[in-house]
Amino acid sequence: MPERRDAEYLVVNLARAIRPNEVTFSGVNSVLPMAACVLARRAYDFDFTYLSVAGGVDVFPKKLPRSSTDPALLAGTAAIFSNADFYDLATRGKLDLIFLGAAQVDAFGRTNVSAIGDWAHPKVRLPGGGGAAVMMPVAPRVALWRSEHTTRTLVEKLEFITAAGKTAVLVTPYAVFARDPAKNERFHLASYRDDTDPAAIVARTGFSFEAARAVPTAPMTARERAALDAMDAFDLLENELPRVTGLR
């Protein structure tokens, strides 16, 4: 079963990807990045703009809604954006950080959300990339998240490349990977949860990576802890995780 700590680790480290004065965007089926943006607003002493796929601008609900497209993410908004508006902002370079999920991720931060197996006769037909193929190449930074950390999800070779671009960060329940997209380099292990170690991460990751610079992830701050507790939404967040995440 997923643990509360798995959800906490994902949300906090996605929030830490946000920088001052950035315009951030999270898409459909993105409850964990949505929670991360709410946490960052409550816990960090800098301004940023949060655009939700629901269409709201800088809406930070007191109670986390059950969906990243919930109408609660429109309450009190200064404006309402459509999907076409988000794509337009992205192609004009007006979105600084985009949070995206994927079925598979490779060492260069490319994603597959199209199909597993032969394209003509796939084992699994996935929902498709939505706006990822449009947004990933043009966003200055992309932060990926994957709730299952296994060799079938973090792979050396994607079965289909749905989208590629300027991926800088990948967060799982156990590790934070980073890369410099300007150098087109592979992910390296930036940090790992304090109840695991790099060897365990290697064993459960399908792509090879450099781990010499890896350190234990910085502990949660008191303000991050308070922001998480204020959400009172861990049943919801844990529903976003697979039943068995298992590096233990």
Tell me the pLDDT tens digit for each residue of 18-75.
999 999 998 777 789 988 998 999 999 999 999 988 788 888 777 777 777 777 778 8
- On whether residue 244 sits in a domain, the answer given is no
Residue 13 CA neighbour count, 13 Å, CB half: 30
pLDDT at 245 over 60: no
- The domain total for the chain is 1
- On whether residue 28 sits in a domain, the answer given is yes
- On whether residue 42 sits in a domain, the answer given is yes
- On whether residue 185 sits in a domain, the answer given is yes
- On whether residue 161 sits in a domain, the answer given is yes
- On whether residue 248 sits in a domain, the answer given is no
Tokens standing for residue 219:
């502990």
Cα 145 to Cα 203: distance, rounded to the nearest angstrom:
19
For the chain, the average pLDDT equals 88
- On whether residue 60 sits in a domain, the answer given is yes
Q: pLDDT value at position 230?
A: 86
> pLDDT grade, residue 234 (50/70/90)?
low
Residue 109 belongs to a domain with what CATH number?
A: 3.40.1080.10
pLDDT at 1 over 50: no
Q: pLDDT value at position 130?
A: 75
Q: pTM of the entire structure?
A: 0.91
The domain of 127 spans 4-238
Q: Which residue has the higher pLDDT, 132 or 61?
A: 132
Q: pLDDT value at position 243?
A: 57
pLDDT at 2 over 80: no
- On whether residue 62 sits in a domain, the answer given is yes
Q: Which residue has the higher pLDDT, 239 or 19?
A: 19
pLDDT at 112 over 90: yes
